[in-house]
Structures are given as C-alpha cells and as structure tokens.
Amino acid sequence: MYYCASAVTDVGTRKQTNQDGICIRVANTKEHGQVAMAVICDGMGGLSKGEVASATVVRMFSNWFERVVSQGLFLYSMEEISEAWKRMLREENRRILEFGRKIHVNIGTTCSALFLMGNEFVIAHVGDTRIYAMTGEAFSPTRVTSDTICSKGRTLPIIRWPLRQGASGKGCWKGGIRQLTLDQTYVAREVRLGNMTPEQARTHAKRSVLLQCVGASREVEPQVVLGEVRAGTVFLLCSDGFRHVLSEGEMYKNLYSVAFGNAKRLERNGKKLVKLVKERGEKDNISVAVIQCEESEELSPAAEVGPSMKVFSMAEPGQSGKLDTASELEQTAELPTLKPKNLEITEILQSITIIHADEVINHYG
C-alpha cells in the first residue's frame, strides 16, 4: 500500500492559542513497502497549558516512530503495536498528571493515533478527537464491540472492524464514511445507553465533558480498533472543532474525491472546510489530517506543507528533528519482548509535525 497525507490547523475565531497538535509520518520499509502513522491531539481548552500537553503526546509518538527509523528496530503485529501504544498513553497520562500536580495546574489532551501497514490498521484513542474511514463503496455493519464507555476506568474491548461491502449493499451504511472511534464524552455515553437523543446531545450543557483524557484522568484506558484497509480508503483525523458544524457528507465530498498523491489539493480542500467551519461560528481550534491509501505508486507522495504550519521534519533516518528536548519520552515507546516481524524502516517520505507550544513536558523531578 502507498500513502499520501496532508494536514491543516487553525486557531479559530475566538481563542488566543491553538491547543491542537498533529503528527504524520510516511516511510518506506525493507520488507513491507510503505507504512504510515498519523496522530491528532486536542489540548483541553479550559485547562492551563493545554497546548503543552498536546505537544508532549505528539512528540511521544514522533519519538516512537523516530526510534524505528534511526535504530532500525523491528515492528510487530498490529496487536502488539496496540499494546505498546496503550502502555505509552497510560504512562504519559501518569507523567503529565504528576507534572501538573507539581506545578499546580490542570493539563490534559485527547489523542487519536492511527498506524497503517499493508492491508491493516490499528487505532489507539482517548477523548473526543475522531478518526473516520472513507471509501467509494458501502460499509458492512458487522463489528465486534461494546458501545458502553465507563468513566471509572472499566476496560474497553479491542474492536475489530473489517471494511467489507455487504451483499448487494443491503444492510450497509450508505454514506461511504464511518466514524471508527467512539467519543468518550458524557453525552456520547448517554446516547449509547439510550438516555439521550443525538439532537439533545448537541445542545446539552455537558456536551464537552470528557470521561477521560491524557494527563487529567487518574487512569486512562485507550480504545483500540483493529481493522482491514483496502486501496482507495481515505482516513480522516480531526479535532472536535472541525466536525462540530460540518456534516459527514461535506467531509466526504471535499476530502475523498481528491486524486491520490495530490497533497496540495488535499490541503486546499482542507483549508476550504476550515474556512467554512469558521464562517458557521465555531469557536474552538480547528484541525484536520488526511491519509490516502492506494495500491498504485504512479504518483509518489511528497511532503507539501502550507506556510501557515509549524513543521519539524526529519531530513534523513537517524537524524533528530528540532524537538530533541523531549528525548526522555522515548523510554515510553518500548515494544513487548516478543518475536518480531522483519520490518525495517529505511526512508522517510513525509514528515509533518504541527504543534503550538514552545516546550514539551520532559522534567518530572
């Protein structure tokens, strides 16, 4: 599988700082072709230093990927990667929480992370940032999951989500776009339990109350999604500020139909949607990232980033970016001691990091 990615972020119309963060990596591997990773984080708008929390978690995932590049580490099965990511998020939650207590501020961030390899994907998710999958055909409704999310640390099951078309399209969701993550909010839980309608949830006073987030919860239990991906699938990651006033149809129309490899067009269409969101009165930060998946390599993806983005790129494998102050966080990225697959990353094709903090949390003493 081949990948092309783009990202857009905007502070919005009301806020003084942008607390969203994005990380995208696309790389060649020796044995399995290209792999890709995308992460989006939304620092808590009402909490002090939310942009620092989101930048810290973005850098944690960047370090994880950079270790694979610079040290030639082997990757594992998707299940093993999901376990590593869950442990990373739990440990980072503990560290940020401890840091916040020591400086007497509340710090927190959501996180939705996606890893793509071959015809498989894995997602680790905390909070209400979202990941969607868009295809040119209907989705099968079949899945194995529990829609109940508890605010008291109860374990969430792994979700296995095949992206397959149903017979004759019957019983299938018709829109070509599906939300893969579950919103971990009070109102989303109440809707799933049948205590509230989606219409009531949109205007409820507690619509922004999170059940858990990284750095502001005593414990976090990330949602994990494992699934299959086919050529032509487009993954969309976004903050809640992006999707509050947009329909899924508008997202699909503007971001699915772009020809593979046209990162500039993806960016233009992303900016078009961000402008529309602002015109409709959204007050929050607005961020979106897109990854196209295709079997053909006719159009080789190249990093094309707009001037409004704050970008730190790794020029060559083994070279660190400009965020080396967070190198201590690498210890959170250890994979399980299990038999690895022979997958070595040899070349970075796209490297985008967007953050809005001058510091990341790496001192806890």
Model confidence pLDDT, tens digit, residues 67-81: 876 665 556 788 989
Maximum distance among all Cα pairs of the chain, rounded to whole angstroms = 61
* Average pLDDT score, the chain: 78
Q: Is the pTM of this model over 0.85?
A: no
Q: Which of 20-34, 89-103, 266-280 has the highest mean pLDDT?
A: 266-280
Extents of the domains making up the chain:
2-136+223-354
**Which pair of tokens denotes residue 130?**
């979202």
* Per-residue confidence band for 118, with pLDDT thresholds at 50, 70 and 90: confident
CATH of range 2-136+223-354; options 3.60.40.10, 3.40.640.10, 3.40.50.620, 3.30.70.920: 3.60.40.10
C-alpha span between 79 and 9 (Å, rounded)? 31
What is the reported pLDDT for 23?
97
C-alpha span between 342 and 259 (Å, rounded)? 32
pLDDT of 8 > 90? The answer is: yes
Residues 6+ apart with CB under 8 A from 201: 187, 188, 190, 191, 207
C-alpha span between 326 and 345 (Å, rounded)? 22
What is the reported pLDDT for 341?
58
**Location of structure tokens 């979106």:** 288
Q: Which of 121-135, 164-178, 301-315 has the highest mean pLDDT?
A: 121-135
Q: How far apart are the first and last CA of the chain?
A: 44
- 196-213 per-position pLDDT tens digit: 888 888 878 787 788 999
43 vs 340 pLDDT, higher one: 43
